[in-house]
Amino acid sequence: MKKIDHIGIAVKSLAKSGELYEKLLGVKSYKTEVVESENVATMFFGVGDNKIELLEATADNSAISKFIEKKGEGIHHIAFDVDDIEAEMLRLKNEGFILLSDSPKPGADNKLVCFVHPKSTGGVLIELCQEVR
């Protein structure tokens, strides 16, 4: 893994939290994007080399609505930038980590992504992401 790419934060309202993060970070969001397959709307902020991703559910069965029901708004996942997502998935699988998909899926912000189950990582949902080249 190369570096932390972004931190994902589950929010009830992108509009409301977007304003809050604009004030907090002192920068405007550079992108909003809906990821249909995950039932989420996302908003990205750049902070130095890193990014903050706000996530709002677009359907009741979205992982984000379930997360907020259980834990409330807050940090949802940490995403690591990788060069070769398939190789990294294989490496983690061989180390005994539980991957949430068998192959990389299209994610927000021009990435291929795969999530690692929090029960295999000490309670933190981890996202691998590789820039689509």
Tell me which residues touch Zn ion (CB under 5 A): 8, 53, 79, 127
Cα dihedral sign for 133, 18, 80, 127? negative
Q: How many CB atoms lie within 10 A of CB 65?
A: 18
Residue number with CB closer to Zn ion (97 or 114): 114
Q: Read off the DSSP letter of residue 1.
A: -
Minimal distance, residue 29 CB to Zn ion, in Å: 15
Interatomic CA distance for residues 86 and 67, integer angstroms: 27
- Minimum distance from CB of 129 to Zn ion (Å)? 7
Q: What is the closest distance, in whole angstroms, from the C-beta atom of residue 51 to Zn ion in the complex?
A: 9
Minimum CB distance to Zn ion smaller for 14 or for 79? 79
Rounded Cα–Cα distance for residues 12 and 81 (Å): 26
Nearest to Zn ion of 63, 79 (CB atom): 79
Strands (DSSP E) found in 11-64 = 31-35, 40-47, 50-57
The residue sitting closest to Zn ion, measured at its beta carbon, is 8
Nearest residue (CB) to Zn ion, 54 versus 79: 79
CB of residue 127 to Zn ion, shortest distance in Å: 5
- Which helix (H) or strand (E) segment is 87 a member of? helix 85-94
